[in-house]
Amino acid sequence: MENKVGIIDIGSNTMRLVIYFQPQKGLPFKEVENIKMGARLRTYLNAEKIVSNEGISILIDTLHSFQLLLHHYDVTNVTCVATATIRQAKNREDILHIVQEKTGFTLTLLDEYEEAFYGYAAVIHSTDIKEGITVDMGGGSTEITYFRNRKLVEHCSLPFGSLSLRLDFVKGSIPTEEEYEQIRQYVHAQLKDIPWIFNKKVPLIGIGGSARNFGQLHQHLIDYPLAGIHQYEMNVSTVQEVQEKLKTLTFSSLQKLEGLSKERADTILPSLEVFGLLLASSKSNKFVISKKGLREGILYNKIEEENSPSPSLVDMSMQEIMYDFHINSDNSRQMTKIARLILEQMNKMKEIEGIITDKDVKLLEHAACIFHLGKYLNEESSSHHTFYLLSNRSILGLSHQERVKLSLVASYKGKRTFRQYIEPFKDWYTQEEQKKMCLLGSILKVAQSLNITKRNVVNDIKFSFKNGDWIMDIQCHDDYKPEEYRMEKQKKHLEKSLKVSLIPNFSAP
């Protein structure tokens, strides 16, 4: 596969071109351009299921605009797909021919299974959720899948979307109570023939513009302290509260809401009815937003066809972060090695036996790889930059809570700054979890001091107990004076976390 890929998604509500770039083989593709056009092709599909000439003209004009961008970025590997509106059109073959003739694009019509599958694939390749229901609500259709053990089990496509519900049931700008009831009855009738949706008690994962807008809207309403919508979670009662709040607003007020795209002001309320009904029917325990959807699913599928299996999502994200911030991989490996040695030896000491879990070990290893990466921007404020950059960066495979936890450990400078960073999030973690994060951060402070010259002089570390103190026998293969000096200054962080006195004992051949 070329290192630049363009994907054009012709939906019922919007048309979008996304250009992806792979900076280095083995690293994830990055989104470098994302252009959306509110074409609303669904409004040009008449009662006879014919897309009008005006609609076709808008389609061609938009594709010509996309062509200019693809040429500007020198992208030749382009996939162009269309979903519900063109799939349902009786003149779809004419549309395919006109697109080929006027633009040179080979337009692929995704069938219902393919559209559902790509949404599922996007979720599987960008989250670590083991079992769930995905709902991809477009403008003209809604694709739903159920996966278990990360394998697709069931799928369906329902003949309505946010825009088609608005056009079919709502006469004004926002639904009346009678129109809400009509929407509910219609959606209920569609769901009753899909028994596998009911009573699953697993996360409902929202894909597509309506779901993303809903998540962004809620973040603005509560002044959410993090950036990013991917893997944002809301409980069922929160969804209901926001839904009821929006129903009290005028259309003009909806258009002005922060986080809600103005062009979705007339479709968000019908969309929320569908999400609410699905949450109730499936008895889902939470609503999770996926920023990744159809286009990413197509991209992941293309990559899988040409490459061997990828590492875990989080490991891949760590590789990407290391690349972006020019982190020396040799030094990163040594940091991880020393941190792991310290943790292994600590685990043998009775005072903390059994406290550290496998998850904690993984957290320590990931934080060690990118410890104080903020020095790439500014050496003096590396801790502050590290926390800000990591906490506001989407990290595939990590929930927002896990992302902040990684940020707190990887930016650890001391308990005072830890308390500053965690202040907006302190209700997310128990006191025990906070103490453990400080402990892991303290280990990394020591690990960093033991490779301060970046010469990888430390070979091994052994702990022993003597007269109430912990003795650290640190075996080196070369001069260790700078590491010894730095260790004396930094060991206090670990001593405070462990409530013991540490006696470093360096040796070399």
Cα–Cα distances (Å) from 109 to 85, 86, 98, 346, in that order, read 10, 8, 14, 59
Examine the fold and report which residue of 456, 480, 501 is the final residue of a domain before the chain moves on: 456
Task: Round to whole Å and give the CA distance between 71 and 303.
Answer: 23
Range of the domain at 319: 313-456
* Model pLDDT for residues 17-35, shown as the tens digit of each residue: 999 999 988 788 999 999 9
Q: Which residue has the tokens 């008895």?
A: 283
159: how many CB neighbours lie within 10 A of its CB? 12
Are 210 and 178 within one domain?
Answer: yes
Task: Round to whole Å and give the CA distance between 62 and 216.
Answer: 27
Are 135 and 246 within one domain?
Answer: yes
> Would 305 be classed as within a structural domain?
no
* Total number of domains constituting the chain: 3
- Residues 161, 88 contacting (CB under 8 angstroms): no
Are 153 and 179 within one domain?
Answer: yes
> Would 136 be classed as within a structural domain?
yes
> Would 461 be classed as within a structural domain?
no
Are 291 and 331 within one domain?
Answer: no
> Would 158 be classed as within a structural domain?
yes
Query: What global pTM score does this model have?
Result: 0.92
Residue 303: band (very low, low, confident or very high) from pLDDT cuts 50, 70, 90:
confident
Are 204 and 265 within one domain?
Answer: yes
- Supply the pLDDT for residue 352: 66
Cα–Cα distances (Å) from 214 to 116, 123, 268, 478, 479, in that order, read 21, 18, 8, 58, 58
CATH number of domain containing 137: 3.30.420.150
CATH number of domain containing 327: 1.10.3210.10
* Model pLDDT for residues 350-379, shown as the tens digit of each residue: 666 668 889 999 999 999 999 999 988 887
Structure tokens at 67: 């062509």
Task: Round to whole Å and give the CA distance between 349 and 464.
Answer: 8
Are 290 and 324 within one domain?
Answer: no
Residue 307: band (very low, low, confident or very high) from pLDDT cuts 50, 70, 90:
low
Examine the fold and report which residue of 88, 109, 130 is the final residue of a domain before the chain moves on: 109
Are 291 and 407 within one domain?
Answer: no
- Residues 136, 117 contacting (CB under 8 angstroms): no
> Would 480 be classed as within a structural domain?
no
Three-state secondary-structure class, residue 288: strand
Q: How far is CA 61 from the centre of its chain?
A: 33
Query: Over the range 359-382, which residues count as b (16 or more CB within 10 Å of their CB) and which as e?
Result: ebbebbbbbbbbbbbbbeeeeeeb
Task: Round to whole Å and give the CA distance between 171 and 173.
Answer: 7
Mean pLDDT score of the chain: 94
> Would 490 be classed as within a structural domain?
no
Structure tokens at 93: 């073959």
Are 102 and 46 within one domain?
Answer: yes
Examine the fold and report which residue of 437, 456, 475 is the final residue of a domain before the chain moves on: 456
Task: Round to whole Å and give the CA distance between 176 and 170.
Answer: 8
The helix (run of H) or strand (run of E) holding residue 301 is helix 294-306
Are 253 and 359 within one domain?
Answer: no
Are 321 and 289 within one domain?
Answer: no
Instruction: Report the pLDDT averaged over residues 251-278.
Output: 93
- Supply the pLDDT for residue 485: 97
Are 318 and 416 within one domain?
Answer: yes
pLDDT at 91 over 90: yes
262: how many CB neighbours lie within 10 A of its CB? 11
- Residues 246, 268 contacting (CB under 8 angstroms): yes
Structure tokens at 376: 């790439």
Are 175 and 225 within one domain?
Answer: yes
- Supply the pLDDT for residue 306: 63
- Supply the pLDDT for residue 312: 86
- Residues 267, 214 contacting (CB under 8 angstroms): no
Task: Round to whole Å and give the CA distance between 158 and 112.
Answer: 9
> Would 393 be classed as within a structural domain?
yes
Angle at 394 between CA 390 and CA 400, to 5 degrees: 80
Q: What percent of the chain is modeled with pLDDT above 90?
A: 89
CATH number of domain containing 8: 3.30.420.40
Instruction: Report the pLDDT averaged over residues 35-61.
Output: 95
> Would 487 be classed as within a structural domain?
no
Q: Exposed, middle or buried, 137 (CB in 10 Å: 0-12/13-18/19+)?
A: buried
